[in-house]
Amino acid sequence: MKLARNILAVSLAGLVLGTSLPVFAQTTLTMWSRQGSALPALVEAFNAGHETKVDLQLVPSDQMVQKYATSAAGGSAPDIIGLDLIYTPAFAAAGQLEDLSSFAKGLTYYDQLSKAHIEAGGYDGKTYGLPLLAEGSVLLWNKKLFEQAGLAPDAPLTNWAEIEAAAAKVDALGGDINGFYFAGACGGCNAFTFLPLVWASGGDIFAEGGKKATLDTPQMHDAINFYRTMVEKGYVPDGAETDNGSNWLSTFAAGNIGISQSGAFSIGTLTKEYPDVDFGITFIPGKDGNRSSFGGGDNFAVSAGHADKLPAIQEFVDFLYSVEGQTILASGGSLPTRADVAAEALKDQDPRYAIAAEAMSIGRTPSTPVYNDLINSPTGPWAQMLTEAFFGEDPDGAIATAQETMQSIIDNYGK
C-alpha cells in the first residue's frame, strides 16, 4: 500500500512537472538516427540557434529496427526517426509512422526535394518519409593505373564495352593489379552499384508498385553476363566472390584496382585517408550509354501519434533544407537533398561531389516493405542470385530461382 502511494505521489509530481515544463522551457524533439558525422553537426548547429532543441541519439544501423520496435511497443518512440530510406515502406506499412503528406506539400520547396527519397518514403499513395541524408552510386576509376595502361586518365567511361576494355588494359599491367572490383557476396552493395547498370539499360527488378518481381529480364541477363565475363577473364580479384562488403572500398583504396563502383561517401574517405589514390568519378552507364544511380541515404519520419510536435519539427525541417543546413550536411559527406540549393551547398567541396549529387538527382530507389528480406539479407534471393550468377555454374538457373523466391516472399508478406 505504502509503496503504491509513493509511486502515485512520484508519478503525480512527474505529471505536474511534465505539464508545467513547456510553459517556461522550449520544446525538445527526440530524434534517432544511424551513425555518421553529418547529422550530429547539423543538430549541433540547429540547437545553437533555436529555442527548439533536438536531442539526437545515434543507433547502430543493424539494431535500428529492433530497438525502434521495442520502444514503439513501450510507448517511448522518438519524435523523429532517421532511417535507411529503404525501411520507410516497412515502417509505414506497420502503422508506425505519421502521414506527412499534407505537411510535405506545405513545404514551399517540396518539388525540389530528392525524388528517390520521396518515392521510397511513400506507401499506399501517402508520404511518410522525407529526405534527410543522401547518397548516390557512381563509377570510380584509378587515374594513375589508367595512365600506366595507356588509357586517357580524364575521359569518363560511358558504356559497358568501354568499361570492359579499360578493365582489360589495366588488368594487363599484371602483378597485384586487377581491372575491376565489386563485393560479390553483399546484396545491399550490389543493389547500390549493380542495379543501376540494369536501370540504365531499361530494366527494373520490380513492377506494379513492388507487387511483382521482374528479375528474369534480358537487361538482367546482360548485366550479369557483363560481370561474369570480367570474372571469367580474371579481371576481378578472387576475394570478390566472398566479400560481404567489408572490403568493398578498401580494395579500391589500396590502389591496385582499375575500376570500381561506390557512393559519394567514398570521396571523403579516399581524399582524407588515401590521398595517394588519384581517382575519377562518373555516372554508372547502361549497356549502350545512358546513366543511372541508386538514390540511397536516409529518410526522416515522424512516429505515429507525435503529430502535436509538427510545429517544432517544421522549424527543424526548414533549417535542414536551408542553404546553411545543406552546406553543413555536405561538409559531413552527405549530398544535398534539395536541388535548388545543391550548387550553393557544394561550392566549397571537392568538385567530384557535384557529379555524385547529379547522379543522386537521377537516382532511383526500389520501394518495397520486404526490402530487407529480398535485397539486404545475405541469405536472401538477391544476394544468392548474384553470387551464383557471377561466379557459379548456372547463371540462368540462379536468376529463375531468385525470381521465384522473390515473388513468393512478396506474396507472403503480411501473412
Partner 1 sequence: MATETLTTASSPRPTRNPRRRPGRRQLVGLLFVAPALLLVVAFFVIPLGMTAWMSLHNWPLLGKSSFIGLGNYEALLADGRFWSAMRFTLYYTVVVTVVIFAVAFPLALFVERQRPLAGFYRTIYFLPVVVGFGSASLLWAWLMNVDAGLFGPALQQLGLTEKRINILSSFDATFWSVIAMVVWKTSGFTMIILMTGLQGIPTDLREAARIDGASRPQLFTRITLPLMRRTIALALILSVAGSMLAFDQFYIIAQGGPRNTTLTAVYWIFNSSFVSFRMGYGAALSMVLLVILLAISVVQLRILRTHEGI
Query: Does 156 interact with partner 1 (rule: CB under 8 A)?
Result: no
- Under the binding rule (CB under 8 A), the answer on residue 20 touching partner 1 is no
Give the three-class secondary structure for 251.
Answer: helix
The alpha carbon of 300 is separated from its chain's Cα centroid by a whole number of angstroms, namely: 13
Closest distance to partner 1 from the beta carbon of 86 (Å): 13
Q: How far is the CB of 288 from partner 1 (least distance, A)?
A: 32
Q: Stretches 31-39, 109-117, 197-205, 365-373: which one binds partner 1 (CB under 8 A)?
A: 365-373
Q: How far is the CB of 24 from partner 1 (least distance, A)?
A: 37
Residues with Cβ within 8 Å of 250's Cβ and at least 6 positions away in sequence, in order, are: none
The reply on whether position 96 binds partner 1 by CB under 8 A is yes
How many CB atoms are closer than 10 A to CB 315? 17
Query: Of 305-334, which residues contact partner 1 (CB under 8 A)?
Result: none
CA distances from 258 to 149, 271, 353 (A): 10, 17, 20
Asked whether 117 and 88 are in contact (CB, 8 A), the reply is: no
**Residue from the set 233, 364, 392, 400 that interacts with partner 1 by CB under 8 A:** 392
Q: Which is nearer to partner 1, 78 or 203 (CB)?
A: 78
Picking from 236, 235, 267, 234, the residue whose alpha carbon sits closest to that of residue 253 is 267
Contact between 391 and partner 1 per CB under 8 A: yes
| 94 belongs to the binding site for partner 1 (CB under 8 A) | yes
Instruction: Tell me which DSSP letter residue 90 carries.
Output: H
Closest CB 309 distance from partner 1, rounded Å: 20
Site string for partner 1, 229-248 (x = CB under 8 A): --------xxx-xx-x--x-
DSSP state of 258: E
Q: Is 384 in the site for partner 1 (CB under 8 A)?
A: yes
Judged by CB under 8 A, does residue 370 bind partner 1?
yes
CB of 363 to partner 1, least distance (A): 25
* Cell 551547398, residue located: 345
Helices (H) and strands (E) in the chain, counts: 20, 14
Of 134 and 386, nearer to partner 1 (C-beta) is 386
79, 98, 135, 373: residue in contact with partner 1 (rule CB under 8 A):
373
Footprint of partner 1 on residues 171-210 (CB under 8 A)? 185
- Number of residues near partner 1 (by CB under 8 A): 36
Q: Applying CB under 8 A, which of residues 66, 76, 101, 271 lies at the interface with partner 1?
A: 66
Question: Which is nearest to 295 in space by CA: 236, 365, 371, 200?
Answer: 365
Query: Which residues are within 8 A (CB) of 252 and not within 5 positions of it... i.e. 6 or more apart?
Result: 140, 142, 181, 260, 262, 266, 277, 279
Question: Dihedral angle at the C-alpha atoms of 156, 162, 163, 166, nearest 10 degrees?
Answer: -90
In the complex with partner 1, the residue whose CB is nearer, 22 or 397, is 397
Candidates 19, 50, 14, 23; CA nearest to 316 is 50
**Residue 153, SS3 per DSSP:** coil
Considering the complex, state which of residue 336 and residue 380 has its C-beta at the smaller distance from partner 1. Answer: 380
Q: Which of 90, 195, 249, 301 binds partner 1 (CB under 8 A)?
A: 90
- Provide, rounded to whole angstroms, the least separation between the CB of residue 241 and partner 1: 5
Concatenate the DSSP letters of all residues of 349-410 into one string: S-THHHHHHHHHHT-B----TTHIIIII-TTSHHHHHHHHHHHSS-HHHHHHHHHHHHHHHH
Query: Helix-strand-coil percent breakdown of the chain, rounded to 5?
Result: 50, 20, 30
Residue 267 to residue 274: CA distance in whole angstroms? 10
Cβ proximity to partner 1, 298 vs 388, nearer residue: 388
Among 37-45, 189-197, 335-343, 372-380, the segment contacting partner 1 (CB under 8 A): 372-380
Shortest distance, CB of residue 384 to partner 1, whole angstroms? 6
User: Which residues contribute to the site for partner 1 (CB under 8 A)?
Assistant: 65-66, 68-69, 72, 90-91, 93-96, 185, 237-239, 241-242, 244, 247, 251, 370, 372-373, 376-380, 384, 387-388, 391-392, 409, 414-415
